[in-house]
Every structure is written in C-alpha cells, then in structure tokens.
Chain A
Amino acid sequence: MTVTERPGLGLRLLRLLGLPILLILAWWAFSVTSESFYVPTPPRVVQAFAETWFSPRLIDDALPSVARLLAGYALATVLGVGLGVPIGLSVRLRAAAEPVLEFFRAIPPPVLVPLIMLLAGIDNGMKILVIVSGCVWPILLNTVEGVRALDQVLSDTCRMYGVRGRSRLRHLVLRGASPQIMAGLRQALSVGIILMVISEMFASSSGLGFTIVLFQRGFAIPEMWSGILLLGLLGFGLSVIFRWMERRVLSWHWSHRA
C-alpha cells in the first residue's frame, strides 16, 4: 500500500467494472439456461425497472418513503445528540441512564413496529416514529461515549482559558465527540433504511416496501426484482452521500491523525 504510483486508466476500469460485468453475465447465463420462474434475465429486469419506476410511482411511492426516512433520521439525530451530550457530561446521570439505554438499544428495532402501530395508528407519523425509535439509540449511545471520552487536556485548557457555555459546547464537546457521533449516525442510517422498508411492509398502502411486497404477492417477478434493485441503489446512494458528508465533517480529524 506504500506504492503511490497510479495504475493506468485501462487497468482501473477493469478493476472497477470487471467483476460486476462477470457477475451479471453469470446471472444472465443462469437465467437463460434455468427454467426457474423466479430468475428473470437482466434485460427483462432493466425493462421492468424503467417501466415501473420512471413513472408516477416514483413520486407516489419512492419519494414519500425517502422523505419519511430523512425526517425520522433528522429527528433521531437531534434527539440523540441533544440527550447524549448532557448524559455524557454528567457522571451521575450516565450511571443512572446506562442500563436503561443498553436495554433499549438491545431491543431489535423491528419489534417496535407492531408496538408503535398500536400507539400511533398507521399513518405517516407512525412510520416516522418507528424510524426515530430505531435510529435514536446508536446515535445517543455513541454521543454519550464520545462526550465521556473527551480529551482531558483539551477540557482543562478550555477551563483555563475561560471557554464555557455555548462556545465550549460547540468547539470542545461536539467537536471532540464528532468522530463517535458520526459512527453512531452511520449505524443509525442502516437501521433507518431497514425500518423504512419494514414499516411499509406491515401496514401501508404506499411506499417502497409496500410496492415491493405487492409485486411479490402478485408474482410480478421482474418488477419485484426491480424493486429490490431500487432499494439496493438507494442504500448504496445514501451510503455514498454519508461518506462524503463524513469526510467533510471529520476532515480536521483525519488531517490531525495523519
């Protein structure tokens, strides 16, 4: 890994696309030769993808799903960081809250779906609440952990220089804890996607999860695969955006360590 010489464009393209193309070809060969009803050929899936998702469905089903995911995720971030900072700063509060928080984190988030359905009905609010209820724990616990492990020297320096109140919170506490907070946010993102899909599979008349299950029940196999593909692309896209954001937020951190 110490060699910094960049390989040629051809080799890089081969590395990037070689294996994916091979895999798609293998799938193609398999779907053509096998009689299995469940495995459509790649062109059939691409066609179904275009027909299914480049249509009003994109606005009626996909966008609201993503909007709910982002709303729930944002709310969970505010809640998690907002509660995590005071808990992390106070030794007593942390000791009292830790077992409770560990318990809530250990509950598999999907079991909260039927529970929240009961409490909040089956509208938009319920789905957002489900996403919040799953995403908040990793963010909260990582914030607590990050704030707890603040550099003692930095914290003493801040006290010496009389940095307190809001600027202490911003420049010392949140900054110092941000690598941990980002780690929590990353975990929360994958939990959030899971919950977005499941909450719609449970009780819904729209959304990505609902539509995919609808296709599956109607044995619209290529359409179902196109839905799986769309969810995959969504997961991939969100993780790319997240990594880009993380690099921006933590640029000071990496440069500091390098």
Chain B
Amino acid sequence: MTGSPGTRTVTAGSMTTKGAKAAYGLAGLAGLLALMEAVPRLGIVDERFLPPASEILGALAAELRTAALWTALGETLGGWALGLAIAFVAAVLAGVVIDLVPGLRAASHSTIEFLRPIPSVALIPLATLLFGASLGSTLLLVVYAAFWQVLIQVMYGVADVDTVADDTARSYGLSRWSRIRNVVWPTALPYIMTGLRLAASVAFILAITAELVVGSPGLGLEIQVAQSSGAVATMYGLVVLAGLIGIAVNLAVRVLERRVLAWHPSVRGEVAS
C-alpha cells in the first residue's frame, strides 16, 4: 500500500509479525479463488458466462504457452513504455520551460486547467482516423493521458523550491543551469516521481483501451478477439493476466522511485523503521 510509514507504529496491534499478515493475505486470495470456483459450479451463475477459477487459470496457462500471447504482451508493454517515455520527457521539459519563462505560468494556467480534465478516450475517434489500428493510436492516447499527470507534478515541484536555498545558490554565484541542476531538480524530483507513478498506471489503462476499442495489436485486442469468438475462459484468463501486469507495473515504478529517491528523507525513514 501507499502508506506513510512512521505513523503506523501504533496501529500494528495484534498483527505483529509480517508472517501473520501474509497468511491473512493468502487466505483472502484463497477465499476469492474458492468463491470463483464455487459460484459457477453450484450454478449460481451460468458456467458459460463465468467459468470456474480452475478453468480460467487453465486457459491462462494454455495461452502462456503460445507465441502469439507473448508477441501481444510485448506490443502492449512496448506501446506503454514508449508512450510513457514521450509523455514524461515532454512534460518535464514543458514544466521547466513554464517555470523559466516569466509570466508563462500565470498565462498557461487556464489552458492547462481546461485541457487536463478532457478524458483522453474522447480522442479515440481522432486516433482511429489518423492512425487506424496501429501503434500510433495507442501512443496518441497514452501520451495525452500521461502527459498531464507528470506536468502537474512537475509544476508543483518546481514551485516548491526553498527560497533560502535558491537565494544561497544565487549569492554563491551558481549559474542558472547549475541552479536548476542542484537546487530545482532535487526539490522537484519527489514530485516528478509521484507524477511518473500516476502516469505509469494511467498509461497502462490507456494502452489496453486503445487495443480494445481501436484494435491496435496487443493484449487488449487478444481480449477482444477472445470475447467475440466465444472463448470465455480464455477471455477471463487474459483479464487476470492484465491485472497481474498492472500489479507488476505498479511495483516496478515503486522500486524505481525508491532507488531514485534513496537519499530523500521519506524513503530513508521507511528503510530505517
């Protein structure tokens, strides 16, 4: 979980060991599996619409042995990573430029506040027209969605620079570039990493969406194909896979955040406790 460590010393209560917590977690997962197995088997929901958990996992295992699935997976993750990278670089540059040019922050506020809440799925028809069912569509949606997440955080971050630190750097005669490198960047970095974390999961959602709706190649398209060909267990299996990848994406960004911010008090405190 996200969590703000340091405050959770008291709440542990009876849950003292990590082992007990893991045991409960496993029990919860086992309960979910048992429920998913029992509901269709007992006929509460028709098996044609909700196959038992064992069948879903079996179908997933069968899919994992096909090359097509791995290709699709590669395509999804490729589109995700490329889109995220483009959005990240563009947003950081835009954020820094907005900070550097005097007056631009005030002038761009209304535009950003208007463009930001536009749901990127509104661009689906445009993507379809411009790029069709290809990587371009995925990239358009992913970049639009992820860009704002990072930009907002960058703008908060660069605004948070300690004036004393900045003035000190100034009076020691640090050049503009050196000030950005040594004062602005470390201040903004935690914000930027938060933006990256938010953007990473949004980008994954939009990558899958583009494949599902526009038909760009990837995991989403596989789900769509499984659905329209009536391979119900396979479809559920792929949905489970999408969830697992979503978890992996979250974990990967969190690990990155921890490494990049290893010097930051919030992370150092976490390790110490």
Show the binding face of A for B, using Cβ within 8 Å: 1, 14-20, 23, 38, 91-92, 95-100, 102-115, 117-119, 141, 145, 148-149, 152, 190, 193-194, 197-198, 201-202, 209, 212-213, 215-216, 221, 224, 227-228, 231-232, 235-236, 238-239
Q: Which of B218-273 contact A (CB under 8 A)?
A: 220, 223-224, 227, 232, 235-236, 238-239, 242-247, 249-250
B247 in contact with A201 (CB, 8 Å): no
A96 in contact with B28 (CB, 8 Å): yes
Choice from B50, B122, B128 contacting A197 with Cβ under 8 Å: B122
Residues of chain B contacted by A17 (CB below 8 angstroms): 110
Q: Is B42 an interface residue (CB 8 A)?
A: no
Q: Would A95 and B20 be within 8 Å (CB), given that A109-B205, A190-B119, A198-B213 are in contact?
A: yes
> Which 8 pairs of residues, A with B, have the shortest CB-CB distance?
A106-B246, A95-B24, A216-B125, A96-B28, A231-B122, A107-B243, A232-B118, A239-B117
The CA of A221 and the CA of B126, in the complex, are separated in Å by 9
B205 in contact with A1 (CB, 8 Å): no
A1 in contact with B159 (CB, 8 Å): yes
Q: Would A19 and B110 be within 8 Å (CB), given that A106-B246, A108-B208, A228-B122 are in contact?
A: yes
The CA of A17 and the CA of B109, in the complex, are separated in Å by 10
Looking across the interface, which residue of chain A has its beta carbon closest to that of B224? A114
Q: Which of B5-13, B58-66, B175-183, B186-194 lines the interface with chain A?
A: B5-13
A38 in contact with B1 (CB, 8 Å): no
Residues of chain A contacted by B2 (CB below 8 angstroms): 145
A111 in contact with B121 (CB, 8 Å): no
Q: Is B171 an interface residue (CB 8 A)?
A: no
B29 to chain A, nearest CB (A): 5
A103 in contact with B243 (CB, 8 Å): yes
B212 in contact with A228 (CB, 8 Å): no
Residues of chain A contacted by B208 (CB below 8 angstroms): 108, 110-111
Residues of chain A contacted by B103 (CB below 8 angstroms): 15
Residues of chain A contacted by B21 (CB below 8 angstroms): 95
The DSSP consensus for interface residues of chain A is helix
Choice from A115, A201, A224 contacting B236 with Cβ under 8 Å: A115
A113 in contact with B236 (CB, 8 Å): no
Choice from A145, A152, A235 contacting B118 with Cβ under 8 Å: A235
Residues of chain A contacted by B204 (CB below 8 angstroms): 108
B110 in contact with A16 (CB, 8 Å): yes
- Of the A-B pairs whose beta carbons lie under 8 Å apart in the complex, a sample of 14, sorted by A's number, is A15-B103, A19-B111, A91-B13, A92-B15, A97-B28, A100-B28, A109-B205, A145-B2, A152-B10, A198-B212, A221-B129, A228-B122, A232-B114, A239-B116
Residues of chain A contacted by B4 (CB below 8 angstroms): 149
B125 in contact with A228 (CB, 8 Å): yes
B28 in contact with A104 (CB, 8 Å): no
A184 to chain B, nearest CB (A): 11
Q: Would A91 and B205 be within 8 Å (CB), given that A145-B2, A228-B125 are in contact?
A: no
New A-B pairs, 4, CB < 8 Å, besides A91-B12, A95-B28, A115-B236: A19-B110, A20-B114, A38-B129, A114-B224
The CA of A23 and the CA of B117, in the complex, are separated in Å by 18
Q: Is B156 an interface residue (CB 8 A)?
A: no
B125 in contact with A190 (CB, 8 Å): no
B16 to chain A, nearest CB (A): 10
